[in-house]
Structure 1
Amino acid sequence: KITTTNICGSDLHMYEGRTSFESGRTLGHENLGLVVEVGSAVRKVQVGEYVVLPFNIACGFCKQCEQGLTNYCLTMQPEPALAGAAYGFADMGPYQGGQAELLRVPYGDFNALRLGEDAAERQTDYVMLADIFPTGYHATEMAHVKPGDQTIVFGAGPVGLMATYSALLRGADRVWTADHQPDRLRKAEELGAIPINTAEQNPAEVVKEAT
């Protein structure tokens, strides 16, 4: 039973007709909900638990999944030329999305992240684990952000804000966030970043002068 779901920027691309997303399918790949029924093969997830669902649908046992590359799962994608599957997403399998009352979760023990006792009260925090927070965090992993680093994030949209937050979590000494939208820069500053308004300042010059 879906209790919280985010609207992703990619949902808007599909809604506006800029992809091959089929008419009649349900959008929504950032989902959190309450388990109301489990299949006969499910051993860990229990009815009554809150779970958050990672963006990718994966089997957990194919070659790609065993290497941690669940976004390239070979089992869940019915098209032989493609790999990877997701809820309610163009070209990523026939699966319905979670912007609905109920959602079927394949391989529930692998695809449902069980949450703690505070899940009901912190749904708006935990639902970020479905897609947007991991996206920003992965950016800081790819950039090898480590304690003591001086880091700049370009863009203070949802992904940029999560990258900003992730850089701080990973111990960056200072994090600048550059954007031209004042409201987004205020959010970045609330997270602990140093804002740079690109309409008024050159980010490269600001960082060079500070470091």
Structure 2
Amino acid sequence: MKAAVYEGPRTVTVKDVPDAKIEHPCDIIVKITTTNICGSDLHMYEGRTSFESGRTLGHENMGQVVEVGSAVRKVQVGEYVVLPFNIACGFCKQCERGLTNYCLTMQPEPDLAGAAYGFADMGPYQGGQAELLRVPYGDFNALRLGEDAAERQTDYVMLADIFPTGYHATEMAHVKPGDQTIVFGAGPVGLMATYSAILKGAGRVWTADHQPDRLRKAEEIGAIPINTAEQNPA
């Protein structure tokens, strides 16, 4: 299969690599149909991590199931699924507490916790910027999608990482109906936080940034834009 392989700082090559395969009865194999490039991928791309040469990037993944392990009970071949950033077992003490981002089972390094696709220091797992992806514990880690998944992939792939990240910010800020809310920064995470605050019924939502195109997008989704370049001219 073809994959986007990290070769070293600022060097990523699309090349042929061995096909992803079932390695455990609970695995599934997903044919990747849509994947995002995350801002945090820059940590690896720019050489600021211990990410090993020869590994595949990509942790915002969506696709169609093409194979399931013998112990998989819910996910079926042919279904479209979106895959959260983190890889978790679903049964360790951290997962039982809902702290799946600190799963102990999937992290082989005893001094660390948490695993992810194609990410430094989060296990040996390959990323999804490839034609195929092995998903451990597919029944737990794959979110099965509805019949419109093939047509709405650009919507559903947002559930892999970027939308939940912005939404979680509003959870941590305890945004509730009627609140006056401001979001600083209108990059992808900031826009998703803006949209989440609006969905939660915030009375007014301001979004501050110095990039006009980002502010236009914030206004399109219902926020009041604040151009920080105009507030603090050089």
TM superposition score category, shorter chain reference: over 0.9
Q: CA deviation at 1:12?
A: 1.8
Output the CA distance in 2 between the equivalents of 1:39 and 1:136.
33
Secondary structure (helix, strand or coil) at the match of 1:127 reads: helix
- TM superposition score normalised by structure 1: 0.95
The C-alpha deviation readout for 1:77-104, integer Å capped at 9, x for no partner, is 0000000000000000000000000000
Q: CA deviation at 1:125?
A: 0.4
Decide whether aligned partners of structure 1 residues 142 and 202 sit closer, same or farther in structure 2, where only a CA change above 3 A counts. Answer: farther
Output the CA distance in 2 between the equivalents of 1:79 and 1:45.
29
Moved more, 6-15 or 156-165: 6-15
Secondary structure (helix, strand or coil) at the match of 1:141 reads: helix
The C-alpha deviation readout for 1:45-86, integer Å capped at 9, x for no partner, is 000000000000000001110111000001000000000000
Q: CA deviation at 1:202?
A: 6.6
The C-alpha deviation readout for 1:126-180, integer Å capped at 9, x for no partner, is 0000000000000000000000000000000000000000000111011000000
Output the CA distance in 1 between the equivalents of 2:132 and 2:38.
19
Q: What are the ranges of 5 or more consecutive residues in structure 1 without an aligned counterpart?
A: 204-210
Q: CA deviation at 1:201?
A: 2.3
Aligned residues: 204
Q: CA RMSD in A?
A: 2.2
Q: Does residue 103 of structure 1 match 2:133?
A: yes
- Higher share of residues assigned strand: 2
Q: Which residue of 1 aligns with 2:104?
A: 74
Output the CA distance in 2 between the equivalents of 1:102 and 1:141.
33
Q: What are the ranges of 5 or more consecutive residues in structure 2 without an aligned counterpart?
A: 1-30
Output the CA distance in 1 between the equivalents of 2:147 and 2:174.
33
Q: CA deviation at 1:13?
A: 1.8
Of 173, 182, 185, which aligns to 2:203? 173
Q: CA deviation at 1:10?
A: 1.1
- TM superposition score normalised by structure 2: 0.86
Secondary structure (helix, strand or coil) at the match of 1:200 reads: helix
Output the CA distance in 2 between the equivalents of 1:122 and 1:13.
29
Of 118, 133, 150, which aligns to 1:88? 118
Output the CA distance in 1 between the equivalents of 2:164 and 2:200.
13
Output the CA distance in 2 between the equivalents of 1:7 and 1:57.
18
Output the CA distance in 1 between the equivalents of 2:232 and 2:82.
40
Identity among equivalent pairs (%): 96
Of 155, 161, 176, which aligns to 1:146? 176
